[in-house]
Structure 1
Amino acid sequence: MNWRARWIWSPGEAAPRNFFWCVRKEFQLSRGFSKVVVALSADTRYTLWFNGQLIGHGPIRSFYGRWYYDLHDVTQYAHEGLNAIAVLVHHLGIGTFQNDYVRGRGRGGLIAQVECDGKVVAASDASWLNVPHPAFERATARMSCQLGFDELYDARRAIGDWTMPRYDDYEWNEAVEIGEAGCEPWGELLPRPIPFLTLQPIQPKTIERVRVVKPPWGTWAFDLKPYLAPDDLSANPRTLSGVVATEIRADAPCTLRIGDVHHGLRDEDVRLNGELAPKEGGLHTLRLQAGSNLLTVDVSRWYHDWYRYFVMEAAEGTPVRLVNPLMERADYPWVVLGPFDGDPEGYLQARDARSVQEIRRHPKAQSFDPMHTARAAVFAMTNHHAQPTGESPRVEHPYASVNAIDDSTLIYPPQSGDVELRFDWQREVFGYVELELEAPPGVIIDFNGFEYVDPVYPDRVQWTWGLNNTFRYITRRGWQRFFSVVKRGFRYATLTIRFPEGATEPVRLRRIGCLHSVYPYEARGAFTCSDPLLNQIYEMARETVRLCSEDTFIDCPTYEQTFWVGDSRNEALFAYTGFGDYALARRCLILAGESIKQSPLVESQVPSAWQNILTAWSLLWAIACYEHYLFTGDLEFVREIFPFVAQQNQTLHERYLNSDGLLEISAWNMLDWAPMDTPGEGVVSHQNMWLVRVWDDTAKLAEVLGEATLAQTWRQWAIDLRAVINRHLWNDAKRAYTDCLKRDGSQSPVFSIQTQVVALLCDVPTPERRAILEGYLANPPEGFVRIGSPFMTAFLLETLLNRNRRQEILERIREDWGYMVQMGAVTCWEQFKGERVPNPLHAHRTEFFTRSHCHAWSAAPAYFLPITVLGAKPLTAGWKRFELSPFLGDLRWAYGRLPLPEGALDFALEQTESGIRGHVVIPEGYTAVLHGKEYGAGRHEVSL
């Protein structure tokens, strides 16, 4: 791209918080053009329209210094004469798990260029007109520590059809020029290496329930970080010390109850007039005296999400109000005191204060800036704290809003309370929520998305604790459409309609939908067999991969939307066989490798404002780099990724091997959601074992590039490490490898099946020990830690496959994933049955089987079912020569398609009295080896 455009921004703050910015430019096109394209990028996110038509969103995740731009073909929407490009930029102004905002010194910016048949017809500069979007409220709650902010859109303040030509933008501002393409902080602009995501409208299937509810008595959300850690814009967790306080004025003695809907409140956190408030059922009881009462809440703890979300419950008509202790007429009733790091006396004075006067005298007391509060705490108002009133709602034509018809669901104002509708898409969706409706002005519509409702007990809802999966829309008069620009994942959603007092007109809801936005896979893989349960599991797993593929692989579409590097090693394999796509994995591996420019090892999730090393994830990245070459034969990829691989290998050897030659590192050293002994410091066994495989696998990459000496060195490192593992980490009495070494060099008393699986997978044991460990795979010894997640189970399945124990793979998949299907799952859970998620902070929360109901690391059957039945594995890079060893076990038949880099391997197999019969179709350019015999392109009969 030959850039003439310049980076531009709004007059004013360089990095405003939660800022929505409208930018537009009109230009002329002459008759007879053939192609019009728009190249653009932004910080943090953009939504693009061309002549009023929604084009798309971007950019993809980038590290500062190597920033990606998009190139959109808008020819079909362009016309002779006046045209308009319009962009809404949403700048977060904070660090998330999707941007490296702090280390990259991020700021707001947009660069855009329109070309017609290769000639620039519009390029961003000072002449582009812009204005902050007045309908988007900036003071909203964070969705979570991983994500940005939820939305509050007031349609009464909307600015009309600003995305169309001839819009009256006379009073809009001229832009401020930042610099030319390539300027800091974004640096080099790179073309997007993957296709655009889908934009597929999907409506819910049914309205599950309609009821009249009332919200809790009071809700508040506020951000502690600007006050208790004011100079920290990162997403790094840390411990803070602080107190918040409010004055409660009661006309007569009465009772309130207070809780925190996400963090919870500990027994010792809440004090009323200096005395501890009792805790009952997850909430603290406040027995108020007539007149002034001082409520203090200790908010000192370890944080990753810095917002607090308070809810108060009270009987209707309770005669109290909350008042700011510092300024009686202030709009916001809470104040914050702190930080108290190194100031225990100041902390105790604040925590134990008995009167408002003590708060006023405290030198570290301050009111919240409105920008650091949330105008609406929607999650707290729409979860279990919203209680039914018993009134029957009046809702007509409920079918209309869940069907693409020219009719509307009519929702009438209740006598008291609000109308809550619960929609079910009957599948997980991931994208942008859309509403189309007619309403009187000032109706509040609160959206709350979630993943699970108990099919037997419909009041038992698994709300997204730790995530505000919400937004608020306030109506103007008449027909209107709202399009959310923040992505959300969910299956169910409630719409709570809050009418203004005295309202009589209904809301006509024509449509609610999700503009589903995922990676545009082609379903090149297929698998069907005689077991209907396995067929359901395969499709469930593949749909999970689809939903967890965005501009990178992500862990889940709902809770985090984070590119976890270690998870993606397995996800790449699932995508190779499920869809035959290699571009997304290539993009992910290179993006992860770039993090080594700022950390000693590849980081755990990238690009991210949480700088974190999860050692096993760094090692799995290196293994995935080799596997990508093995599956694709992409030599250019090896050349591009190799410097990162070599740097990490060298760092591991030079900085992290102790005097015994074992890997010893201070980092996050987990592997599985299970009680393994994997301390944050010391020698952790599974990591040493992964490192053996890393050095073995990456030596093969060195050979591909002709680096024979380096390959020999890395192989020798692997040989040496294998020897010291067997010398120091094996326990003769337990006949197994310990989980770790303690600081004094002694072995941990904890032994896990996970560690033994990794030992086998990385070819660490001696032949005698290998035979012992193989006996543990089906029946771990008593006292050994069992596998705790589908992620770790994938490594077990891989180990069984390597040992040709394929019937056990089928049985394990039936047992673990079959239970999900039986429980009504449509996508794969993050955790297995029996590992019900506890709620340690809230006694009133019911436990559930899993947190995330759609988690990519759990989609192993998308890979293992076809690979197990075919017994397929590449013998040379790119599968140009591969082995086949068909297997049916207890299956009667199976057929399907295994994608290859060019074409696919079709297969159909059946079990007969004499053995397996069927055929395979091998594409041109490939050779299969079946029981020692080679087969070239074409159809071949199989008889075993």
Structure 2
Amino acid sequence: MSTRLPGSDRDEPWRGHWIGAEPAPVPGVSGGLSGRGFSRVLFRKEFRVGSVPASLPLRLTADSRFVVWVNGREAGRGPVRAQPRRWRYETFDIAPFLEPGPNVVAVLVTYYGSATSWWFPAAPEGGINGDACLVLDCLPGGPDELVSDASWRVHRSTAWHFLGTFGVPCEVLDARELPTGWTRPGFDDSHWSTATVLTARHWGGLGRSRPPVSPYGKLLPRPIAVLGGDTIRPAAVLDARLRQKPVWASEHPGSRVVQHLESPGDPVPTEGCLPLSAALDADRTLDVVIDFGAITAGFVELDVNAPAGTVFELGYREKPKSVGVIETTSDYAAGARYISPGGRSVYTALELAGLRYLYLTVHVPEAAEVTIVDVAVRENVYPHTGTAYFSSDDEEIDRIYRAGIRTVQLNSFDAFTDCPTREQRAWTGDGVVHQMVHLATNEDWRLAQHYVELANSPRSDGILPLSVAGDFEKFQGFTIPDWSLHWVHGVHNLHRYTGDRDRLAPSLPTVERVLRWYEQHLDEHGTLSDLPEWNLVDWSSVFTTGRTSIVSALWARGLLEYAELCDWVGNSGSAAWARERYAGVAASFEDFWDARRGLYVDHFVDGERRPAASQAANAAAIVSGLAPRERWRAIATAMTDRSALVTRSWIGGDGGYDLQKEEDQRRGIQRIDWDVEREIVRAQPFFSYVVHDAVARAGCAERIVDLVRDWSVFLDGGYDTFGECWGWGTPVHGWSSTPTRDLVVHVLGIAPDLPGFERVRIAPRPGPLRDVAGAAPTPYGPVEVDIRGEKATVSSPVPIRFVDLDGGSRHLPAGSHHLLIQRAVPTIDDISGKPSA
């Protein structure tokens, strides 16, 4: 376990130099992701201490990633993902790892070469970047040797290479080529090269070698908590067989492990657990299927006893492979390959993986006994801390609450990601749901704040990338413009929950740039038309072509939120602009109203109002306030009428991606296969957060409990996480976790009433739950609500505005209060988050 110190405590000038290994790899020759400059370099430095100090902070960073050991014990990993010119460093207290006498710090630095899901290279400037590089020093007063300079020893390793994929790269380690004992004192590194001090060679660089220096600039401290978790071991060994070794159809281990599952094989006794031994020869493989019982995410560890050259192909899967079935969703290739150095050895992955099932294929160069001693995943997720909870008299609802927390945690690393199994990208829009779950359930809000800061990386035209700090941002291609509007909502969320003006101030100019990006697409009516790029909304079959109600309403929500933020910081000019643009949308939004159906339609094409209506359009109309208040309840009732709802997606369904639908979508063909005059397209799990906000705002929050029951469909087969879409997609997608937030914010009714929780709003709407209780974090401590029948107890460290079912408010001081609550037919509720007079 690493011991980290807050990076913000260290702002002394750097004494360490950027160092690397010469010669640098030649692009296209060294292998790696698409064969463009992948490299792993080993750095080590021995030093002596007379007596072990109480504390010895060590700070370091590297491009692209590092693992640091002290005396053979792992002390930490890093840095967190970031844009190259906002690069981060880590600080560790290494005193617990030290011993009197000789010690060693050893660092493995990975340079990916070409962009991945979580990293992209800095612009080439020569000198510092373009290869594995490291900078390191310790607190003044520590050992003088612990400063990165030319005295360090370096070795460019040939033990690893990568097989590139669309999402998570595949790690291949030939442990026979890895120096034994290089992380421990006493290793003979005399044959290694000395490190090269890297200097800036650009105009104005002046040969600098210490931070701050371009391209990384001033290094920033780690802004979030250390990741970690339990070590997860298999729930069961499902199958083990000896099979005839095939002719491999793929180089990728994730494909190899399922290549010959249909082939007959001889069962190997397992008793459902490890260890497992088998006698192999060069013509046969040992194929093992292991189930961890649920999705997990972290570093795979494989403990084996095998002769040198034994190959272990590891395939990581979120769902079991169905023999004879082509699965377009789950047949992505993910895995690793480990080649044994001989004898007892342990493979510990350097790359994080998400999986439930581990498919393992073992083959040997010659006849030998092989033992799989143990397999585990050392989880590496963001900590869920504090005393927040939710419990009720309905176990289904309680299970849904817990599943949302677990789903978000499995997508909370150094950023909020879509899924740990397929991509691990920090999608700009997805993260708003993760953020809201953190704010409602996790005492540690640093990652919720970092979501906004990391994504504050606009293109030159002001809009945000699809995902940030990775390949999509690097390539600067088309984006999902409405993802930027969800990010704006994330900024507003932080305003309400934290009330931190100083921290939010850098985001506000970007909010305005995002909103102004849309101005060029206003039509003569004042609504948005003919939007370019990928206007996703979610994976449901909604229409955003032509004149769009959905994106116009999301933009309007953003304008109102920005106006509120501007009022908060005293920017009256931008507030007036935002309200003026909002008024322009409001003036003609009525055009989308279908009075016959009592719903808003999705769009106009060529001046004609088309009949397609969706939950997305109507929810957005309510949360933006564009729909007249007197319509809200009827709209909420109509758009949640299960007899009229249909589940449709332009690209998926029936268990996976529909390749024909996907191709049609790319060509602009969107086929309506539902009764467009009567039926309403249901939102997918992501946009359901907007739907549930609309239902609650319309005074129907009592229905939230029954709406979130739909998420129980994901929790079959031992899964404890929410999937990507209704009926298809990954089984662990963070953007689907709104029920957990909803149970806190809409059912318990706990939300900020003034920025920073200077006052809390409590508006419980338990619906069919007779007994329900829970607590939510605030900057001042938890707020707790406990309802037993018609009696409620509320406890708060800050003043309370208690909202009754009829919309009336009671103002209460901080402390504990016993109240009677109504369980009558509700009226329109105030959940705007705005303070009352």
Q: Same fold (TM over 0.5)?
A: yes
Deviation at 1:938, TM superposition (A): 2.3
Which residue of the partner structure matches residue 687 of structure 2?
A: 792
Which residue of the partner structure matches residue 247 of structure 2?
A: 217
Q: 1:767 to 1:774 in 2, by over 3 A?
A: same
Which residue of the partner structure matches residue 7 of structure 1?
A: 18
* Alignment of structure 1 residues 546-557 onto 2, 5 Å: 546-557=409-420
Q: 1:100 to 1:658 in 2, by over 3 A?
A: farther
- Of 412, 435, 438, which aligns to 1:575? 438
Which residue of the partner structure matches residue 866 of structure 1?
A: 744
SS of corresponding position for 1:438 = strand
- Of 599, 621, 632, which aligns to 2:487? 621
Deviation at 1:155, TM superposition (A): 1.9
- Of 260, 284, 305, which aligns to 1:438? 305
Q: 1:381 to 1:494 in 2, by over 3 A?
A: same
Which residue of the partner structure matches residue 173 of structure 2?
A: 153
Deviations along 1:213-255, whole A, 9 cap, x unmatched? 34543324xxxxxxxxxxxxxxxxxxxxxxxxxxxxxxxxxxx
Q: 1:657 to 1:484 in 2, by over 3 A?
A: same
Deviations along 1:596-634, whole A, 9 cap, x unmatched? 154521222102332242111111111210111101112
SS of corresponding position for 2:438 = helix
- Of 350, 358, 362, which aligns to 1:497? 362
Which residue of the partner structure matches residue 554 of structure 2?
A: 690
The reply to whether residue 536 of structure 1 matches residue 430 of structure 2 is no
Q: Gaps (5+ residues) in structure 2?
A: 1-10, 28-35, 199-208, 646-674, 822-837
Letter in 1 for 2:562: T
Q: Distance in 2 between matches of 1:745 and 1:520?
A: 52
Q: 1:465 to 1:778 in 2, by over 3 A?
A: closer
8 Å CA contact 1:129, 1:175 repeated in 2: yes
Which residue of the partner structure matches residue 296 of structure 1?
A: none
8 Å CA contact 1:99, 1:608 repeated in 2: yes
Deviations along 1:285-344, whole A, 9 cap, x unmatched? xxxxxxxxxxxxxxxxxxxxxxxxxxxxxxxxxxxxxxxxxxxxxxxxxxxxxxxxxxxx
Deviations along 1:386-405, whole A, 9 cap, x unmatched? 43333232x46763x3xxxx
- Of 485, 490, 513, which aligns to 2:350? 485
* Alignment of structure 1 residues 605-644 onto 2, 5 Å: 605-610=467-472, 611=476, 612-644=478-510
The farther-off stretch of 582-591 and 110-119 is 110-119
The reply to whether residue 421 of structure 1 matches residue 288 of structure 2 is yes
8 Å CA contact 1:449, 1:492 repeated in 2: yes
Which residue of the partner structure matches residue 673 of structure 1?
A: 539
- Of 120, 127, 130, which aligns to 1:107? 130
Q: Distance in 2 between matches of 1:461 and 1:29?
A: 60
Which residue of the partner structure matches residue 188 of structure 1?
A: 218
Which residue of the partner structure matches residue 853 of structure 1?
A: 731
SS of corresponding position for 2:426 = coil
Letter in 1 for 2:137: V
Which structure has the highest strand share of the two? 1
Q: Distance in 1 between matches of 2:813 and 2:124?
A: 52
8 Å CA contact 1:5, 1:180 repeated in 2: yes
The reply to whether residue 827 of structure 1 matches residue 827 of structure 2 is no
The reply to whether residue 936 of structure 1 matches residue 813 of structure 2 is yes
The reply to whether residue 130 of structure 1 matches residue 172 of structure 2 is no
Deviation at 1:516, TM superposition (A): 0.5
Q: Distance in 1 between matches of 2:90 and 2:541?
A: 44
The reply to whether residue 804 of structure 1 matches residue 679 of structure 2 is no
Q: Distance in 1 between matches of 2:96 and 2:378?
A: 21
Letter in 2 for 1:134: T
Deviation at 1:669, TM superposition (A): 0.5
SS of corresponding position for 1:388 = coil
Bigger radius of gyration, 1 or 2?
1
Q: Gaps (5+ residues) in structure 1?
A: 221-375, 402-407, 836-849
TM score, norm. by length of structure 1? 0.75
- Of 79, 91, 97, which aligns to 1:77? 97
Q: 1:826 to 1:477 in 2, by over 3 A?
A: same
* Alignment of structure 1 residues 829-844 onto 2, 5 Å: 829-832=723-726, 835=727
Which residue of the partner structure matches residue 141 of structure 1?
A: 163
SS of corresponding position for 1:123 = coil
* Alignment of structure 1 residues 277-356 onto 2, 5 Å: none
Which residue of the partner structure matches residue 825 of structure 2?
A: none
8 Å CA contact 2:762, 2:800 repeated in 1: no
* Alignment of structure 1 residues 218-257 onto 2, 5 Å: 218-220=248-250
SS of corresponding position for 1:494 = strand
Letter in 1 for 2:130: R
Which residue of the partner structure matches residue 223 of structure 1?
A: none
Which residue of the partner structure matches residue 712 of structure 1?
A: 576
Deviation at 1:116, TM superposition (A): 4.7
8 Å CA contact 1:9, 1:176 repeated in 2: yes
Deviation at 1:188, TM superposition (A): 2.0
Letter in 2 for 1:759: A
Which residue of the partner structure matches residue 653 of structure 2?
A: none
Deviation at 1:180, TM superposition (A): 2.2
Q: 1:793 to 1:216 in 2, by over 3 A?
A: farther
Q: Distance in 2 between matches of 1:100 and 1:410?
A: 42
The farther-off stretch of 699-708 and 93-102 is 93-102
Q: 1:461 to 1:897 in 2, by over 3 A?
A: farther
Q: Distance in 2 between matches of 1:67 and 1:490?
A: 29
Q: Distance in 1 between matches of 2:604 and 2:104?
A: 65
Q: Distance in 2 between matches of 1:114 and 1:463?
A: 48
Q: Distance in 2 between matches of 1:692 and 1:788?
A: 20
Which residue of the partner structure matches residue 757 of structure 1?
A: 619
Which residue of the partner structure matches residue 474 of structure 1?
A: 339
Q: Distance in 2 between matches of 1:883 and 1:396?
A: 56
The reply to whether residue 882 of structure 1 matches residue 763 of structure 2 is no
Letter in 1 for 2:404: A
Which residue of the partner structure matches residue 22 of structure 1?
A: 42
Letter in 2 for 1:720: G
Letter in 1 for 2:408: V
Q: 1:659 to 1:183 in 2, by over 3 A?
A: farther
Q: 1:797 to 1:917 in 2, by over 3 A?
A: same
Deviations along 1:781-828, whole A, 9 cap, x unmatched? 8524522521122221111111231332111212x1122224442111
Deviation at 1:535, TM superposition (A): 1.1
Which residue of the partner structure matches residue 264 of structure 2?
A: 389
8 Å CA contact 1:623, 1:698 repeated in 2: no
Q: 1:684 to 1:607 in 2, by over 3 A?
A: farther
8 Å CA contact 1:870, 1:887 repeated in 2: yes
8 Å CA contact 1:38, 1:112 repeated in 2: no
